Amino acid sequence: MKQNDREKVKTGISDFLIAYDCPSGYVGFPILCDLLKAALENYTELASNLKSIYLSVAHKRKITRLCVERNLHTLVEKWLPQPKFGLLFDQEPTNAELLYLLAKKLRYLNCSVYDTLLMP
């Protein structure tokens, strides 16, 4: 992944992880919904893991950042084997980078998800 892309991902996607700690600000709600929609429609196993996060956000209930991080790591471990990280990142990937990889995996299913994630 290019350094430019990594920076865009970090600044854009990290926003919604932070937003989970703030009941009034769901910065990444549309992004999350797009990602979840693609996942729920196409991956049964992934859908079951995402369902609780989806419902929490959809009902605007506060969920902790730790909960989101734990779920993201669980999802990525399932869909993106650990050895691949070494090829893309110098150190352990951030949640934003993990989400980038997850979105990339969904790219062929829903291009708008991928494009949205790369927006500054």
- Decide if 120 is inside a domain: no
- Decide if 116 is inside a domain: no
Does this model's pTM top 0.85? My answer is: no
Average pLDDT across the chain, whole number: 48
- Decide if 47 is inside a domain: yes
Q: For residues 118 and 11, is the Cβ–Cβ distance under 8 A? A: no
pLDDT, tens digit, 9 for 90 and up, residues 64-104: 555 555 555 555 555 544 444 444 445 555 555 555 655 55
- Decide if 25 is inside a domain: yes
Count of structural domains within the chain: 1
- Decide if 56 is inside a domain: yes
Whether 17 has a pLDDT exceeding 50, the answer reads no
Please report the pLDDT score of residue 101 as a whole number: 58
Q: Which of 10-14, 26-30, 64-68 has the highest mean pLDDT?
A: 64-68
- Decide if 88 is inside a domain: yes
- Decide if 119 is inside a domain: no
- Decide if 115 is inside a domain: no
> Residue 32 is part of which domain span?
3-110
